Structure 1
């Protein structure tokens, strides 16, 4: 198995999950849509480039090793939006706010974030990928667009540090490229004894403990449509 391993660490992250009403929840780990978005940004594939987005989606599969999901934080928002008008069309946020003030309504919402989470991601190529791992590694080292942790307000606090590895399975692949995270004094951060693995396809050296059906498989970024997929999970205690 050949894989590209990189790390995700920051003070805040928000991994989108299905939302109903005014609450915008965050998953505890980055899902497929978030990782495709990050990789597309690094490669310079724009959100409105449908063929490019689909080519990337069919070229890669992901696995995640979660060291810490981070502490959950909820942020209270008030947002002004125009009232319902079947004849009006708004293409940008600027268009929405250009209507007369008496036509604006206030919407209350709550958004979730993850504080100080730490994850590693493995990128695996499909059989007919349009990219190779060297190209993806270069893109993550010198991204075209700035990558972030789910939202633009969630910047990275450490380099992605992509590394190409050869291994017999996902657990071995992650172990061969441990995260490189220091505190403000230059000391290595303590890593937990138990970690969570999430993966899409065959892992090789990890036994499935449960399987989920998250709705984060990108159908269209332009129409903001997502489908369900199969995701395997296992929690494993690792030796220090």
Structure 2
């Protein structure tokens, strides 16, 4: 088994799991359906193609920078005719950073890694209006479990966010792992993809285990010089 890690960072992200009609919500962290969709696009698959092999991968995510919820009041008109479309509310996460991972057979993970480095279709962070601002690929870990890989990856928060928390040499990051049969009671989310066919999109419930938080090193704190006189206002 191997693990592919991905950096999901951008001005806006939106990971919907319960959007209905004119209200397009977002979860507080990337969904499995959204990340599997990103990988399917990188492979060049059409929305009507079978995704059972990708859906079988185990998924996890680490919250490096939670971001800020943002609401957009959305209006649109048909290109031909000009009639108005229904008014909608769309929700996003601004300035968020996540590390996501998928675990599976080594040949499948290696194929996904190559596709991620040379994607057939452009990747986006939940919606087409949300392009990534950094390279997504964080490499493959062949000798680690999903949880070990997520815990061992350096902190990827934005430099300004790292400096803002420079008083904290160690950072606690939330870790959300796809539950296994032995995990007992878990949270659940309807983001297990069954089909992306636009005529009949289908998703199933997926168990989520909130693992003990990952402890990460803050490089901004490590490099900060110690100045005991700084509290005296420039002495």
Q: Which TM class, normalised by the smaller chain length?
A: 0.7 to 0.9
* Paired position in structure 1 for 2:153: 177
1:238 aligns with 2:235: no
SS in 2 for 1:228: strand
Cα distance, 1:106 vs structure 2: 4.2
Counterpart CA distance in 2 for 1:14 and 1:75 is 12
Cα offset, 1:97, TM superposition: 5.3
The residue number in structure 2 matching 1:119 is 98
Question: What residue number does 1:198 align with?
Answer: 176
Matched, 1:227 2:207: no
| DSSP-derived class of the 1:219 partner | strand
**Distance in 2 (alpha carbons) for counterparts of 1:66 and 1:239:** 11
- Residue number in structure 1 paired with 2:75: 78
Give 1:128-207 correspondences, 5 Å limit: 131-167=107-143, 169-178=145-154, 183=159, 193-202=171-180
CA contact (8 A) 2:117 2:137 kept: yes
- Pair 1:36–1:237, CA change in 2 (3 A): closer
Q: Distance in 2 between matches of 1:161 and 1:107?
A: 37
TM-score of the aligned structures, taking structure 1 as reference length: 0.75
- Contact preservation (8 Å) 1:210, 1:234: no
Q: Secondary structure at the match of 1:38?
A: helix
Moved over 3 A (4+): 166-171, 179-184, 189-192
Q: Deviation at 1:74?
A: 0.4
Taking only aligned residues, the RMSD between alpha carbons, in angstroms, comes to 3.0
In structure 1, runs of 5+ residues without a counterpart are 81-95
Counterpart for residue 66 of structure 1: 63
- SS at 1:29's partner residue? coil
1:42, 1:144 within 8 Å by CA — same for their partners in 2? Answer: yes
CA distance in 1, matches of 2:145, 2:103: 11
The equivalences for 1:47-66 within 5 A come to 47-49=47-49, 51=50, 53-58=51-56, 60-66=57-63
Q: Distance in 2 between matches of 1:210 and 1:27?
A: 21
Determine the C-alpha separation between the residues in 2 that align with 1:15 and 1:116. 14
Does the CA-based 8 Å contact 2:61-2:98 persist in structure 1?
yes
User: Quick one: distance in 1 between partners of 2:185 and 2:174?
Assistant: 12
Q: Which moved more, 1:136-145 or 1:209-218?
A: 209-218
Q: How many residues align?
A: 210
Q: Give the structure 1 partner of residue 220 of structure 2.
A: none
Render the CA deviation track for 1:12-38: whole Å, top value 9, x for unaligned.
000012124521110011111101100
